[in-house]
Amino acid sequence: MPWLRRHLDMLIALVLTAVGQIEVWSGLVVGGPRVADALAIAAGTMAVAWRRRYPTGAVIGACGAMALQALLGVNSNSAFAPLFAAFLAIGTAGYLVRRPVLPLACALVLIWCAVAVSGGGVPAEAGTLVNLIEGFVYAGILVVMSWLVGRGFAVGRLQSELSAERATAAAARERLWIARDVHDIVAHSISVMALHAGGARRLLHPDQQDAREALELVEQTGRDALVEISQVLDAIRDPEGRPPQRLSLSSVEELFAPVRAAGLTTSVHVEGRTEPLPPAVDQAVVRILQEAVTNVLRHSDARSLDARLCYGPGQMRVEVTDDGTPRDAGGTVGHGLVGMRERAKMVGGSIDAGPLPGRGYRVTAVLPLTGEVL
């Protein structure tokens, strides 16, 4: 709960103050006038409310109140709340302060002052002096232990941050490695294919119009792929920069150019009230359509392809249906379908794909219009 996190320190301080006042007015606190004891204890316990904002100040306030209680004649062993407040402030300072030795020194000085005052100053009797030294040692151990607990958490936090930075650096190196390989291998191969397609097109006779159009499509598809690869590589190299430009659903007809060039009859139907889609959903629809069309070309002997985009209340339904039969079982359940499911899942949607009775195959995607990437 955000409200509880913001006011947690104040709630702890109020609880400790209430406990301290109960200890004073119920007679559990031994020594000193009650009103003065109550005020001194309240000052020490309320210092906890500022332990994160002013950690060193909270240590001085809580431990200074302990010294004040000793001046008033309060037996430190009879009050729980101010002791807990002091040790909590010391531990928090050890965790938060960049130079934690300063709050540790302040705590030791103030607590030892309280021990010295409660012991009546420097005594003459050897036995009492031994007791006083034991009190110094005992109080010092408690203060240092509280401080070390805070420092231990601080070291753990630093180690976690260092591990996160190392993971980020490793991911950056991996992104650059992938970008280099994609550029050197994939982009180069596509570029060569586009160049050869253009060269083959120029060798055709004027009456070979169908072949010319097919090669033009191959050449243009290769060039478009190079542009998209370049945009993706820019995003990989600079993840904090602008996202790569994407295809828009408004140009969805372009996705069916390859199947039309292959001789398939295609149709696109839009149902419902069209409205602008959130960018994440728009991109998911385009990529799902793109992959579904590619699967038909690769793995089916279909002759026709039908796509339906149905705008409904709060969701978008995409259906791609063909009249063919898969040429191989692996094509229908391979990486393409996995990729479509991952695309849909990213925006909180789902994919259903499978053969139809007799002939045909259908891919159905249902995507919510929230636009939230999960």
* Confidence at residue 28, expressed as pLDDT on a 0 to 100 scale: 84
Q: How many domains does the chain have?
A: 2
Question: What pLDDT sits at residue 331?
Answer: 40
Residue 228 lies in a domain: no
Q: What is the mean pLDDT of the chain?
A: 81
Residue 360 resides in a domain: yes
Q: What is the pLDDT of residue 238?
A: 62
pLDDT given at position 55: 92
pLDDT band at 286 (very low <50, low <70, confident <90, very high): confident
Give exposure, 60-90, as e/b (b: 16+ Cβ within 10 Å): bbbbbbbbbbbebebebeebebbbbbbbbbb
Q: For 72-86, 234-248, 277-291, which range has the lowest pLDDT when averaged over its residues?
A: 234-248
Q: Please report whether residue 176 resides in a domain.
A: no
- What is the predicted pLDDT for the residue at 374? 52
Over 50: is that where the pLDDT of 6 sits?
yes
Task: Single out the residue of 40, 44, 43 nearest to residue 72, CA to CA.
Answer: 40
221: confidence class by pLDDT, cuts 50, 70, 90: confident
Assess whether pLDDT exceeds 70 at residue 66: yes
Q: Is residue 48 domain-resident?
A: yes
Q: Cα separation of 127 and 154, whole Å?
A: 41
CATH number of the domain where residue 260 is located: 3.30.565.10
Tallying the residues shown for the chain, one arrives at 374
Domain membership of residue 213 (yes or no) is no
pLDDT at 9 over 80: yes
- Other CB atoms closer than 10 Å to residue 344's CB: what's the count? 23
Average pLDDT on 238-245 reads: 51
pLDDT band at 124 (very low <50, low <70, confident <90, very high): very low
Q: Which of 65-74, 224-233, 301-310, 360-369 is least confident? A: 224-233
Q: Is residue 350 part of a domain?
A: yes
pLDDT digits (tens, 9 = 90+) for 360-374: 899 999 998 875 555
| Residue finishing a domain among 74, 97, 121 | 121
What pLDDT shows up at residue 235?
A: 66
Q: pTM higher than 0.75 for the full model?
A: no
DSSP three-state, residue 124? coil
pLDDT tops 80 at residue 23? yes
Neighbours of 57 (CB within 10 A): 16
The pLDDT value given to residue 58: 92
The predicted model gives 135-144 an average pLDDT of 88
Q: How far is the CA of 230 from the CAs of 19, 187, 236, 288, 295, in angstroms?
A: 66, 8, 10, 21, 24
pLDDT digits (tens, 9 = 90+) for 171-209: 777 777 777 777 667 777 777 777 778 788 788 888 888
- Residue 167 resides in a domain: no
pLDDT tens-digit profile of 91-104? Answer: 999 999 888 899 99
Distances from the Cα of 79 to the Cα of 47, 49, 62, 216, 234, angstroms: 16, 19, 13, 89, 64
Q: In this structure, what token pair is assigned to residue 238?
A: 């600079």
Residue-level pLDDT at 7:
83
Determine, yes or no, domain membership for 231: no
- Which of 121, 147, 172 marks a domain boundary? 121
**CA pair distance 236, 16, nearest whole angstrom:** 52
Owning domain of residue 351 = 248-374
> What is the model's pLDDT at position 79?
79
Q: In the listed set 121, 142, 159, which residue is the last one of a domain according to the structure? A: 121
